[in-house]
Amino acid sequence: ELAREKRDASDERGWWLLERGSYLVQLNEAILLQAGTIGFLSPHPRLLEAGASHPTLCLPGGRQPHAPVLPLQVGDRGLALEENARISLLAVVG
């Protein structure tokens, strides 16, 4: 587990300063989809613009709520990731 850092004394949230490489990210929100639906959890456009990405996950509905763990790939520029940042978009079909 990586420790969060305050970039400034006035910061309310912490930051992770990630170098190029692979990381596992635990989302802090549980996802609960209705039975008969499917969710696609894909990288947020801002994450892609920052040179990082994660694979799109397919989440079937009708299961217990869970907070996915995502493999995050960080590019050559590194990534400053703020606590509670939006790194994914959820699209629900069904």
Burial class (CB in 10 A: 0-12, 13-18, 19+), 4: middle
Could you tell me the end-to-end alpha-carbon distance of the chain, in angstroms, rounded to an integer? 36
Q: What is the mean pLDDT of the chain?
A: 94
User: Smallest Cα–Cα separation from 59: which of 35, 80, 43?
Assistant: 35
Instruction: Tell me what pLDDT residue 82 has.
Output: 94
- The residues of the chain scoring below 70 in pLDDT are none
Q: How many CA atoms lie within 13 A of 14 on its CB side?
A: 7
